[in-house]
Structure 1
Amino acid sequence: MNGYQISFYMQQNDRHDGHALCDWLVKLAGELELRGVTVIAGTEGIGHDGRLHSAHFFELGDQPVKVMMAVNEEQSDKLFARLKGEKLRLFYIKAPVEFGVVGED
């Protein structure tokens, strides 16, 4: 199947609608019936703001987080329409990919 790999980048302490943004995105993906959504916590990174963000022993709020998903074009359109309606400011990468499942159930 052809579609997109979409990766959203944020910090652990970013929030939306009273919830951690990464958790909110996973919940939204569930509502939109998207599958294959993964949250990946990073050790450190430089954000689009030019600042170093990292996980510290006592403070994980600045830890970089990526929410990644593989979607078809229709799912991508629904996702971005919903995000636009939420008025979020959220950095993402959207790349065309081929995806599928190998093997039997």
Structure 2
Amino acid sequence: MQGYQVTFFTQEGRRYHGKQLSHWLMQVMHEMPVRGATHLIAAEGLGHDHRFHSWHFVELADRPEEVTIVATAEEVEALFERLGREQFHIFYAKTPVEFGVLGKADS
């Protein structure tokens, strides 16, 4: 199949509708017909403002996070339309990909 890999970049301390932004994104994707999503937490990142964002034992709020999906163009369009109705901003990267499944399904 043809589609896109979309990765959203945020920090652990960002909140939206009373939830951590990354968790809120995962919830929205769960409610939509998105095939799957992965939430990753990084040790360190460099933001668009050239500030380091990193994990510290005393302060986790600045820890970088990514939420990634691989989906068809229609699924990505529906997701972007849904997120466009919200009152927040988030950086993302969108890359064309070919995707599919190999092997037998687990029984």
TM-score tier by shorter-chain length is over 0.9
Coordinate RMSD, CA, aligned: 0.8
Quote the Cα distance in structure 1 between the aligned partners of 2:88 and 2:69: 18
Quote the Cα distance in structure 2 between the aligned partners of 1:12 and 1:18: 13
Partner of 2:91: 91
Please state how far the C-alpha of 1:33 moved relative to its aligned partner.
2.2
Quote the Cα distance in structure 2 between the aligned partners of 1:91 and 1:25: 13
Which one-letter code corresponds to 1:17 in the other structure?
H
Aligned-pair identity (%): 44
Structure 1: segments with no counterpart, 5+ residues = none
- TM-score, normalised with respect to structure 2: 0.95
Quote the Cα distance in structure 2 between the aligned partners of 1:101 and 1:88: 34
Structure 2: segments with no counterpart, 5+ residues = none
Quote the Cα distance in structure 2 between the aligned partners of 1:100 and 1:59: 39
Per-residue deviation, residues 14-40 of structure 1 (Å, max 9, x unmatched)? 111111000000000011121220011
Partner of 2:43: 43
How many positions carry a matched residue from both structures?
Answer: 105
Partner of 1:101: 101
- TM-score, normalised with respect to structure 1: 0.96
Per-residue deviation, residues 47-104 of structure 1 (Å, max 9, x unmatched)? 1122110000121110000000001011111100111100321000000001111111
Partner of 1:81: 81
- Secondary structure in structure 1 of the residue aligned to 2:50: coil
Partner of 2:25: 25
